[in-house]
Structure 1
Amino acid sequence: MSRKWRGEPGLCSPSSGRASSRHKGERWNELSEPRGTCTRMCPDRELRQREAQRRLHRFEMVPGTEKDPRPRGDPARAVKEYSRPAAGKNCTRACDLRPPSVLLDTVCYLIDRIAASPALQPWTEVYDFVFDRLRSVRQDMIIQRASGAECVAVLEMTVRFLLYASYRLRDEPLRLYDPRINNTHLQESLSWLLDCYSQGQHPCQAEMQALDLLYNLGSTRALQHALELPERVRGAPEVCLALAVNRAYLESNPVRLLRLARRLDFLQSCALHHHLGACCRDLLLFYSHGYSSRNCRYPLPKLAEILTLEEPQAAQLCQAHGVAVDGAWVVFSKASYTEPRSEDLRSLQFRQLVDSKQGGRTVAAVIHGCT
């Protein structure tokens, strides 16, 4: 199934215009798709310009010059920043474009040396830097209409980074992290990646298809796309598990959904995380009707186990929904149930379902997809 890819603002999508260009011959096609010749992560011209304008990020400066009147840029650390296309600006110069192999090396540098570095803090600043530079990488790929294994590898790491960031930064204030912007770029990268998969076989396809299903839980588009996959992908264990989670969601079965969520790995749990609050809300709503009785008491430890929350947090969640908690017992009543504030759902900490699954894996291992 072909998926519509929106692409970066002001740029054409990788597939737009291909049908018409075929009629104009291969020569026209070669001229319309520039090939990058820049072998560094940041073109020399841009590095000199940003150095003169004092627009270098501290992660790009020569160590020891950070406090100088004009810090010097380190060619081994500087990375081309994203630049919005502007009228009269030529963004197709070969010397300013990095070929796919260099783009892949750039992304590996951003993940291994920046995102995964314990010495670079705060992580919100790390995220901002990596997010912008990954956006620049995708911009270079779009201009060159890049495709193939290197393009797929770049998009896979981009998707994993944005998914990981969506969980790690979930409690940060809006001025430091905007989940809507992160979601927009994650959806666009996923859409582009899944479109690339339709052109050949790739070893991580099942993993990414499962992440798409879990992140877009309940989406008819995502479900239809998954059901139309080749059997070798649709029958993969991770895709089957994601389809089962999706089915539990569509059947309004939060107990089964939470039970299945225990079997997800760390990154899959990060993808599902933003749906878990609504899942807990639905469970309390159903229990408030099913166990609504003056003489009925439900054990709080059992409810916390089902919700995969610690008992104090489960009790706090119940009270936010108008459900009374009497010591170690929960008193459900359909008359007292109320819809909670969104803040009460966002503050939930699913340590058992998410955090504990990372184990000893580093950020680099998570984003590279290492098991």
Structure 2
Amino acid sequence: MRTSRSLAVKKASDIRPLPVLRETMDYLWHLLNSSEYPFEIVHDFIFDRTRSVRQDLSIQNLVNDQAIGIYEDVIKFHILSHQRLARSCQDSDASSLCYLNTEQMMKCLLSLFDMYHTIHKINSQSNKEAEYYSFFVLLHMGCKIPKMANSLSFWYSQLPASIVRSKEMIFARTILRCYHLGNFKRFFCMIADEATELQLCLVEPFLNEVRARALMYLNHSGYKLQHHPLTHLSDILMIEELELEDLCRICGLEISRSGDTKAFAPKQTTFSLPTPLSKSSGIYISREIKR
């Protein structure tokens, strides 16, 4: 596969009409699960071509249901890539791909929201709007996106009431609130019970960051004599006990053992939030993405 990092200025004859752009996206979707090449190479190939598709849509100023469907598929590609790249991040090159993928996802979302606003003027609406607005909220959990000029509260106030009251947005706002307040049990229970397939893909790369924050709270706020059994914590944080033990050690926590029970004592001064965190394997819920 060959990729090109630059999108040259196109001649009018090179600009593809909407039906061709739809066919292009369908072809790219077919390639997404290709096993012939490493995913990083497949991602790079599709990444460049989805940018070109968006450029053709922009040049023609196409804003209709079909164009919106293409944008939604591009964002879905970035979300699935967000998950798969995070699982394989082992070096600086992979980390760079993760950053670029997230950056493009944000740009696509903002462009999509403008398109939603435009079709609202003709009393049209996408049935996926609420979920796609929720993605923007969930991305604020990772603290790896550019700061907004205005607060999220102001952004909420600009949205249609039907979107703000939707179950997808209520879920996203509640998850973000639990994250900031340290309500980790509710955080993971809600993800397990209520997240859509794509919401789950989007938050998975942030889960070990949340787990590390939970360990920090427990370490700083607990009593020295009140040890925290890993078996109990693994249930709350929805992570296998062996992975939790690895995460504890990465954070500088010393694990003690009494019989078959492993635990850590609070107030350990060696604790620190690692950067970067180990890759996450999710919350062990068997879910299959269906397009």
Q: Same fold (TM over 0.5)?
A: yes
1:1-371 paired onto structure 2 within 5 Å: 57=1, 83-85=6-8, 91-93=10-12, 95-111=13-29, 113-118=30-35, 120-170=36-86, 171-172=88-89, 173-175=91-93, 178-199=97-118, 200=120, 201-217=125-141, 221-263=151-193, 264-293=195-224, 295-327=225-257, 328-343=261-276, 345-352=277-284, 356-358=286-288, 361=289, 365=290, 368=291
- DSSP 3-state at the match of 1:352: coil
Residue in 2 that maps onto 1:7:
none
Tell me how many residue pairs correspond in the alignment: 273
Residue in 2 that maps onto 1:10:
none
Give distance in 2, aligned partners of 1:351 and 1:246.
Answer: 17
Task: Decide which structure has greater helix share.
Answer: 2
The CA deviation string for residues 17-67 of structure 1, in whole angstroms up to 9 with x for no partner, is xxxxxxxxxxxxxxxxxxxxxxxxxxxxxxxxxxxxxxxx47xxxxxxxxx
Q: CA deviation at 1:234?
A: 1.8
After superposition, the Cα gap between the structure-2 partners of 1:83 and 1:144, relative to the gap in structure 1 and judged at 3 Å, is farther
Alignment check: 8 A CA contact 1:248 1:254 kept: yes
1:207 partner letter? E
Give distance in 2, aligned partners of 1:318 and 1:227.
Answer: 40
2:200 partner letter? S
Alignment check: 8 A CA contact 1:301 1:311 kept: yes
Q: CA deviation at 1:138?
A: 0.9
Q: After the TM superposition, which parts of structure 1 deviate over 6 Å for at least 4 consecutive aligned residues?
A: none
Larger radius of gyration: 1
Give distance in 2, aligned partners of 1:256 and 1:235.
Answer: 20
- DSSP 3-state at the match of 2:263: strand
Alignment check: 8 A CA contact 1:297 1:329 kept: no
Alignment check: 8 A CA contact 1:297 1:332 kept: yes
Q: CA deviation at 1:242?
A: 1.0
TM-score normalized with structure 2 length: 0.84
Alignment check: 8 A CA contact 2:135 2:199 kept: yes
Give distance in 1, aligned partners of 2:199 and 2:278.
Answer: 18
Alignment check: 8 A CA contact 2:82 2:201 kept: yes
Q: CA deviation at 1:335?
A: 3.8
